[in-house]
Chain A
Amino acid sequence: MPRPTCASTWPKTMSDTTPAIVLGHASVAAGLVSAVERITGITDRFIALSNDGLGTNEIEQMLRERMEATGARVVFTDLPAGSCNFAACRLLRVRPDIIVVTGANLPALLHFATSGVVPDTEGPEDTEVAAAEEAARRGAAAMRVLRGKPA
């Protein structure tokens, strides 16, 4: 039996169209994207960017250039109180078409990567907004406190 591929598992996802950006501190974005790729096999859904060594203006410029070059409209940032998120929010002023999701974690990115099925009846904009909102819900819901029970 042929091994399932990404294309056969998720026959029509948003990864057929454009990637999303994951922007974070140090190597967190690269780590998250690497984990998504390892878990799902999907290698073209996210572009990882880091704020390492960059000032506020440089982060914003890097993000703007990568979004323009790739057509990405969705940006995941790692920390609400962070320079990455502020840079993305500044872009919202001049790019009201983009969508920023902050506090991103692995469950959120996994959901976004794997469940963005594009219905034929909706435009890509509605689909990306809905996928981003659902990813945020999934990411928040995945946070749990687990405690052991005495034997």
Chain B
Amino acid sequence: MTIELYRIDDRLVHGQVVVGWGQPMNIGFIVLVDDLVAASDWEQELYRMGVPPGMELYFASVEGAAGDIERWRSDQRPGILLTADVETMRRLAALVPGISAVNVGGIHHRSGRTERLRYVFLTPEEERELRALQDGGVVVTAQDVPSARPMPLGELLDGGTRK
């Protein structure tokens, strides 16, 4: 197995990830890539509370993740890699070859962002970064839970308003 899902989700470890995706995919581990969380023992302890027994949770900065990615990819268990924002995923993809698809799972409302889906709000810069990811060969889709239809990036951005 390998890292089966690269997901951008500003809630990071939460119900949709652990239960919604984790259970049907039989996830054995989650990699949380975030420079701030990687530097905070308190934040890491908080997120550890959120994973069930038997599911491991690893923390890494972007650079640290680039160094450890092959170890996670060779893990026998299926895994999920999470970032909280588009920029972190773009930085990771720039350092790590072989990320073929990115799931936009949840980017919520904040000043300057435009609603694209109920669970996806993007700034113009974030839209540019997602397009850059896709132009670099990464298939970008929006999908909050496994039962939802994955929405291609073009449809997500070109629709212009809430679907």
> What is A's interface to B at a CB cutoff of 8 Å?
25, 53-58, 79-83, 85-86, 89-90, 93
9 closest Cβ pairs, A-B complex: A55-B108, A81-B50, A83-B11, A83-B14, A81-B18, A55-B10, A82-B15, A82-B14, A79-B15
Query: Is the CB–CB distance between B49 and A80 below 8 Å?
Result: yes
Q: Which of A53, A55, A57, A86 contacts B46 (CB under 8 A)?
A: A86
Query: Is the CB–CB distance between A53 and B49 below 8 Å?
Result: no
Query: Is the CB–CB distance between B46 and A81 below 8 Å?
Result: no
Which size bracket describes the interface of B in this complex? Answer: 20 to 34
Can you spell out 12 A-B residue pairs with CB atoms less than 8 angstroms apart?
A: A53-B108, A54-B108, A55-B10, A55-B110, A56-B12, A58-B110, A81-B50, A81-B51, A82-B14, A82-B50, A83-B11, A83-B14
| Interface positions of B from 37 to 59, Cβ below 8 Å from A | 42, 46-47, 49-52
Main secondary structure of the interface of B (DSSP, over half): loop
Query: Is the CB–CB distance between B118 and A90 below 8 Å?
Result: no
B122 CB → nearest A CB, Å: 12
When distances are taken between beta carbons in the complex, the residues of chain A under 8 Å from B13 are 81, 86
A98 CB → nearest B CB, Å: 15
How many A-B residue pairs have C-beta atoms within 8 angstroms? Tell me.
52
When distances are taken between beta carbons in the complex, the residues of chain A under 8 Å from B10 are 55-56
Give per-residue flags for B9-29: 1 if the beta carbon is below 8 A from chain A beta carbons, else 0: 011111100110000000000
> What is B's interface to A at a CB cutoff of 8 Å?
10-15, 18-19, 42, 46-47, 49-52, 84, 106-110, 118-119
A53 to B108, CA, bound (A): 6
A83 to B14, CA, bound (A): 5
A86 to B84, CA, bound (A): 14
Given contacts A56-B10, A81-B14, contact A86 B50 (CB under 8 A): yes
Which of chain A's residues has its CB closest to B11's CB? A83
When distances are taken between beta carbons in the complex, the residues of chain A under 8 Å from B118 are 53
Q: Which of A25, A58, A79 contacts B109 (CB under 8 A)?
A: A58
A63 to B18, CA, bound (A): 23
B29 CB → nearest A CB, Å: 15
A89 to B42, CA, bound (A): 10
A90 to B46, CA, bound (A): 8
When distances are taken between beta carbons in the complex, the residues of chain B under 8 Å from A55 are 10-11, 106-110
Given contacts A25-B15, A53-B119, A79-B15, contact A85 B108 (CB under 8 A): no
Query: Is the CB–CB distance between A56 and B51 below 8 Å?
Result: no
Query: Is the CB–CB distance between A56 and B18 below 8 Å?
Result: no
Given A80-B50, A86-B50, 7 other A-B residues pairs in contact with their CB atoms under 8 A: A53-B108, A53-B118, A53-B119, A56-B11, A82-B15, A83-B15, A85-B49
Q: Which of A57, A58, A86 contacts B14 (CB under 8 A)?
A: A86
A93 to B15, CA, bound (A): 22
When distances are taken between beta carbons in the complex, the residues of chain A under 8 Å from B18 are 81
